Amino acid sequence: MSVTGARKARLGLPILCALLLTTAACSTKGPDIAYTSEGIDLDRRAMALREVDVLHAKGQRVWCVPFARNASGVEIRGNADTWWGKARGLYERGKQPVVGAVMAFSATRGMPMGHVAVVSDVVSEREVRVDHANWTHNQVSLGMSVKDISANNDWSSVRVESTPGAYGKPYPISGFIYPSRVN
């Protein structure tokens, strides 16, 4: 195969995947809230994944915070457990999952710096899919299922699908940070 043919073959699959994701995103309706985004920004996601590839190539670790910042456009710095508080007054926050929002996990004994993930799909009122980094050591997970297990159906406690069909222990959630800035 020629160099040009190999380049076309290598570029064809990502383009096809992006088109399929765009089509799927158009057919999925999220909850009604005052958030105007059409959904996940595929260009941002692709950029975040390129950054991960650069880090891996350098032998560096992938962390949830820079991945979520790059994938969502929510420009907050600092450990994940500080994002909820830092978002106050800068970004809309709430308890309803929306595609493109950052799910802010609270700190726990086992996860003292918290965690952040980007909602990539709202499956139902009690299940979403997220894209995030370092849930599995030094890796990015795309489309991982997260289920709301809170007694009040308010997304204050969730279980994350770490392996297909297997949901782990409960994790506390502060809420969702929506990428549109407060004016």
pLDDT on residue 135: 93
Q: Would you call 25 exposed, middle or buried from its count of C-beta atoms within 10 A (0-12, 13-18, 19+)?
A: middle
Average of per-residue pLDDT values in the chain: 84
* Strands of 97-170, DSSP E: 102-105, 115-124, 127-133, 140-148, 157-163, 166-167
**Assigned token pair, 22:** 């765009």
pLDDT on residue 28: 34
What domains, with CATH codes, occur in the chain? 31-181 (3.90.1720.10)
What pTM did the predictor assign? 0.77
**Assigned token pair, 105:** 């996990």
Distance CA 103, CA 94 (A): 10
* pLDDT tens-digit readout, 72-90: 999 999 999 999 999 999 9
pLDDT on residue 183: 62
Q: Would you call 59 exposed, middle or buried from its count of C-beta atoms within 10 A (0-12, 13-18, 19+)?
A: exposed
What phi and psi, each to the nearest 5 degrees, are found at residue 35? -125, 125
Q: What is the percent of the chain with per-residue pLDDT over 70, rounded to a whole number?
A: 78
163: left (phi over 0), alpha (psi -120 to 50) or beta: beta
* pLDDT tens-digit readout, 39-82: 678 899 999 999 999 999 999 999 999 999 999 999 999 999 99
